[in-house]
Amino acid sequence: MFWHAGTELAGAVRSLIVHDDGKGVAAHVMHATDAILFGIVLIVFAYAITFGFVIDLPLEARQRLPAWMRLESVSQLKQSLVEIILVYMVVDVATDWAQAEGGLTWSSLIKPGTIVLIAGALRLLSRPGDSTRSS
């Protein structure tokens, strides 16, 4: 994913040198951002699963880990997955809008509507005593 992001950024630089329109540069940069974000998501989940479920660390070593690496249950992992998917979807919508040729149609609101519905469902399903949530 990071290699793909690098090629997209190189394409953006190429578009600047050749003096393409600004929309081509923005699309390349948004694709690079999308790829970097997805690569980070994969790394976060690899670490979370490894240190949450595979490797049994002593208590003092576990407390030194960042909060996103200390999972207590699969439900925490699922909740983190939904949160990261929401962020990824927002970047994807921004990428789609940056690439849009001409005006946007009403069907361009389907993805943002889905994001709002998923975020609302996540908010309703979050536990009241969950310390990772801010009210």
Tell me what pLDDT residue 116 has. Answer: 94
Q: Is the pLDDT of residue 133 over 70?
A: no
- The answer to whether the CB of 34 falls within 8 A of the CB of 95 is yes
Among 46, 41, 17, 16, residue whose Cα is nearest residue 29? 16
> Which pair of tokens denotes residue 28?
């390349």
Domain that holds residue 91: 2-125
Total domain count for the chain?
A: 1
- The answer to whether the CB of 56 falls within 8 A of the CB of 73 is no
Amino acid residing at 23: K
Residue 68 maps to a domain: yes
> Which pair of tokens denotes residue 9?
């950024």
Split at pLDDT 50, 70, 90, the class of 25 is: confident
Residue 132 maps to a domain: no
Residue 97 maps to a domain: yes
